[in-house]
């Protein structure tokens, strides 16, 4: 059970990192539909973080409350990239890459170290993450068509 809580906390940490990065990057966008679309994905990550937090507590574990140093570094790197005058496509690509890498790591952890109940819980989250990737692909295509 301790290993399972540890793995769930790693996945939770990824959710917190995503929340921070979406917040950082979306704040660099003008108000409008793209910003709203990204805010919707960020809200999904917030919901996932709450689901994981509740489950970890139900299992007698102590959930993380932030992304820690790794999350701070990810946010800082995102800020630095957007300082170089990132356009909407750059921002969407950064988010897509982060979602893709985070999902790959989380799936790897889940396959290796989670029991059936916890795996079922995270598979629902992973389904949403796949939807995020599809949404980001559509947004990227939409931005490319504006040019």
**CATH number of the domain enclosing 14:** 1.20.1260.10
CB 25 within 8 A of CB 94: yes
Q: What percent of the chain has pLDDT over 90?
A: 68
Could you give the number of structural domains in the chain? 1
pTM of the model: 0.86
Of the ranges 28-32, 54-58, 62-66, which is most confident?
Answer: 54-58
Domain span holding position 37: 2-146
pLDDT at 76: 54
Helix (H) or strand (E) holding 59: none
* Per-residue exposure over 48-77, b if at least 16 CB sit within 10 Å of its own CB, e if not: bbebbbebbeeeebebbeebeeebeebbee
pLDDT band at 30, cuts 50/70/90?
confident
- Residue-wise pLDDT tens digits, 57-110: 999 999 998 656 554 555 556 555 555 566 889 889 989 999 999 999 999 999
**63 contacts: CB under 8 Å, gap ≥ 6:** 8, 9, 12, 52, 53, 56, 57
Q: What percent of the chain has pLDDT over 70?
A: 84
**61 contacts: CB under 8 Å, gap ≥ 6:** 1, 5, 8, 9
Q: What is the CA radius of gyration of the chain?
A: 16
Give me the helix-helix angle, 2-26 and 116-146, nearest 10°: 20
């Amino acid at each position: 059970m301790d290993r399972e809580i540890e793995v769930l906390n790693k996945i939770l940490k990824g959710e917190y990192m995503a929340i921070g990065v979406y917040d950082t990057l979306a704040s660099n966008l003008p108000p409008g539909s793209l910003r709203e679309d990204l805010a919707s994905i960020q809200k999904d990550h917030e919901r996932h973080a709450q689901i994981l937090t509740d489950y970890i507590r139900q299992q007698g574990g102590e959930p993380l409350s932030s992304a820690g140093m790794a999350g701070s570094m990810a946010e800082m790197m995102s800020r630095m990239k957007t300082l170089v005058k990132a356009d909407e496509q750059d921002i969407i690509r950064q988010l897509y890459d982060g979602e893709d890498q985070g999902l790959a790591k989380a799936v790897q952890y889940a396959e290796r170290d989670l029991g059936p109940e916890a795996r079922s819980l995270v598979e629902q989250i992973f389904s949403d993450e796949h939807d995020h990737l599809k949404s980001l692909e559509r947004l990227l295509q939409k931005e490319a068509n504006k040019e």
